[in-house]
Amino acid sequence: MAEFLRRQNSTESKFWAIRDVSFAVRDGDVLGVIGRNGSGKSTLLLTLAGIIRPDFGTIQTLGLRPTLLTMTTGFETDLSGRENIYLQAAYFGFSRSRIRERIDEIIEFSELGSFIDAQMRTYSTGMRVRLAFSIAVHIEPEILLIDEVLGVGDASFTEKSRAKLRELMKKAHAIVIVSHSMSFIRKTCTKVLWLQEGRIAGFGNPQDVVNAYIAATEGTRAPVRALP
């Protein structure tokens, strides 16, 4: 798939964030990406989103437009939540008229109530994540990339988000989720990619890959059955 590097200081020493990573995701797939911090998960999403380019290799999205949802989604803190909905919609390439048709659904799903007209600087992390997720799923992206946002918030919102993702699976071509929640990955994903030190340590059935990952982090090993 692709290789990425970061240069250090003035020397030519290199650190490969991701190397020798190759995989395919089909229509309707929900791919979970797991691994310890620093394994290359967020780098992978940034590259799939087209924000950074690989030094080697190629990424093919077959003309489909990826939408990246992260904990650091670019909200303007001096604007209200409502104003940020329009701002994010513009960032994703949607017109004001189109988002106006869906803004009530977005606000209702986010459960922010009257806080939607408060400045974003007053929002907690959980409130920001709920709003960001609500915007992303209601603009129905062709490829949705989610970076560790569903582990923030209460259990009821997480369950509602999971249900919304299942609904979105019928419309989006593919969803890629980075998460440390193994229970969420098991229940939601159709495939799992396990990254370790920038390389693929496992790829395939969610139960098999997650079990192998947990075994490895506990100091034991379990076999991974790869999907064809």
Share of the chain above pLDDT 70, in %: 84
Other beta carbons within 10 Å of 78: 10
What's the CA gap between 43 and 21, in Å, rounded?
12
- pLDDT for residue 10 is more than 80: no
Q: With beta carbons less than 8 A apart as the criterion, state whether 76 and 87 touch.
A: yes
**What is the structure's pLDDT at 209?**
96
- Check whether 183 has a pLDDT greater than 90: no
Q: Looking at the predicted structure, is the pLDDT value of residue 228 above 60? A: no
Q: How far apart are CA 202 and CA 227, in angstroms?
A: 10
The answer to whether residue 161 scores a pLDDT higher than 90 is: no
| Token pair for 4 | 């990425």
Average pLDDT for residues 21-28, to the nearest whole number?
88
Write down the pTM of the prediction: 0.73
Q: What is the mean pLDDT of residues 207-227?
A: 74
Confidence class for position 164, pLDDT limits 50, 70, 90: confident
Average pLDDT over every residue of 23-49: 90
pLDDT band at 96 (very low <50, low <70, confident <90, very high): confident
Confidence label for 214 from pLDDT (cuts 50, 70 and 90): very high
Q: Provide the CATH number for the domain formed by 1-64+173-228 in this structure.
A: 3.40.50.300
* Model pLDDT, residue 7: 43
Q: Which residue has the tokens 């490969």?
A: 16
For tokens 């949607």, what's the residue?
94
Question: Is residue 191 left, alpha or beta, with left meaning phi > 0 and alpha meaning psi from -120 to 50?
Answer: beta
C-alpha dihedral, 33 to 35 to 39 to 44, nearest 10°: 0
